[in-house]
């Protein structure tokens, strides 16, 4: 009996080793490129700033919470944090609202020139350089830009778009829209067409079929797309720099300033840690909020 038990344990160990071995390169890559930098960032955030040290870090100093206390007690930094959270959430929801009809249209059976054109525009937008897109919005939303010229033709006074949260939100939505559309198209195409046929044969209207079949079954894609968009939005760096003009700031751009211009690595690491924790926590909350099981009625 003991011999059989030992043999079974050896077989199980070999099976586990065979399963784990192919994933070792990915685990090592994840550890080197992800876990080690995060641990280093978290460690640096607990050091106090020393002006004459490289990066403001003196490893001989004891760990302290002074950076986190300063961040929480500073109205300027908390305002930047709430700006980041608000802009990211609004942009993610707006991107979902705009992208869902487009993804629904692209996922429907049949081919047409219009559908191909829409898909081509989304792909081109996805591969277009971010700087090019931002400066295009800069020209469009400027005081003498295309949008204000169009408004002047209909008798509306000049509107200031640049250096406002609205300009940043538009650019971020444009940035994440192709990703959201592609994510939703994959989810919508996985819905069996037989369910639509069954709903129609039972006398359901198009709106009833959409509300009780399409929307619930596409919920995983909705959750995935809004989480992707929100995560990307929280880390937006170049958008607030170009369109915010230093007036509307987000955490990512402020982190850049702390690391590169001020060379205050401890405080920059503190803000980066706060950004990471809040992003993960908010993503978990959104997933829990939207991830409730929906049954087809």
Does residue 143 belong to any structural domain of this protein? yes
Per-residue pLDDT at 7: 54
pLDDT at 293: 47
284-295 pLDDT tens trace: 887 777 665 444
**200 located within any domain:** yes
Judge whether 4 lies within some domain.
no
Per-residue pLDDT, 198? 80
Q: Give dist(CA 104, CA 207) in Å, integer.
A: 13
- Which helix (H) or strand (E) segment holds residue 225: the answer is helix 219-234
Residue range 254-267, pLDDT digits in tens: 888 888 888 888 88
- Asked whether residue 15 is domain-assigned, the answer is no
| Dihedral angle computed from the Cα positions of residues 115, 212, 183 and 180, in that order, rounded to the nearest 10 degrees | 80
Residue 295 belongs to some domain of the structure: no
pLDDT of residue 296: 43
**DSSP 8-state code for residue 61:** S
Q: What range does the domain containing 210 cover? A: 65-290
Does any domain span residue 230? Answer: yes
Closest alpha carbon to 94 in 187, 162, 173: 173
Give the model's pLDDT for residue 98: 92
Provide the CATH number for the domain around residue 186: 1.10.3720.10
Using an 8 Å Cβ cutoff, are 169 and 175 in contact? no
- Asked if residue 134 is part of any domain, the answer here is yes
The one-digit pLDDT tens for each residue of the chain (297 residues) are: 445 555 556 656 666 666 666 777 777 777 777 788 888 888 888 888 777 766 667 766 677 888 899 888 989 889 999 999 999 999 999 999 999 999 888 888 777 788 888 888 888 887 887 788 888 888 888 877 788 888 888 877 778 888 888 889 998 998 889 989 988 988 888 887 777 778 777 777 778 888 888 888 888 888 888 888 998 898 888 888 888 877 888 898 888 888 888 888 888 889 999 988 888 888 888 777 766 544 444
Total domain count, the chain: 1
Q: Dihedral of CA 230/275/37/261: which sign?
A: positive
pTM: 0.81
pLDDT, residue 1, reads 47
* Integer Cα distance of 183 and 202 in angstroms: 30
The answer to whether residue 82 sits within a structural domain is: yes
């Amino acid at each position: 009996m003991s011999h059989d038990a030992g043999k079974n344990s050896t077989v199980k160990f070999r099976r586990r080793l065979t399963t784990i071995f192919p994933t070792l390169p990915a685990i090592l890559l994840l550890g080197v490129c992800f876990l080690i930098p995060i641990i280093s960032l978290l460690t640096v955030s607990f050091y106090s700033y020393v002006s004459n040290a490289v990066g403001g870090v003196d490893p001989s100093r004891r760990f302290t919470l002074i950076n986190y206390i300063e961040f929480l007690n500073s109205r300027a930094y908390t305002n930047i944090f709430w700006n980041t959270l608000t802009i990211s959430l609004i942009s993610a929801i707006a991107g979902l609202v705009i992208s869902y009809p487009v993804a629904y249209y692209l996922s429907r059976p049949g081919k047409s020139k219009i559908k191909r054109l829409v898909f081509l525009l989304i792909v081109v937008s996805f591969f277009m350089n971010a700087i090019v897109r931002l400066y295009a919005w800069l020209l469009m939303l400027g005081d003498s830009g295309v949008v204000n010229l169009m408004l002047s033709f209909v008798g509306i006074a000049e509107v200031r778009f640049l250096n406002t949260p609205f300009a940043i939100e538009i650019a971020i939505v444009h940035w994440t829209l192709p990703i959201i559309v592609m994510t939703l198209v994959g989810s919508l195409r996985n819905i069996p067409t037989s369910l639509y046929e069954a709903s129609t044969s039972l006398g359901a209207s198009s709106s009833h079929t959409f509300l009780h079949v399409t929307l619930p079954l596409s919920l995983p894609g909705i959750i995935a797309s809004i989480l992707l968009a929100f995560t990307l939005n929280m880390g937006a760096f170049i958008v607030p720099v170009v369109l915010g003009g230093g007036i509307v700031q987000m955490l990512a751009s402020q982190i850049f300033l702390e690391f590169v211009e001020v060379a205050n690595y401890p405080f920059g690491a503190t803000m980066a840690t706060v950004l990471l924790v809040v992003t993960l926590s908010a993503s978990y909350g959104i997933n829990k909020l939207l991830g409730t099981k929906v049954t087809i009625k």
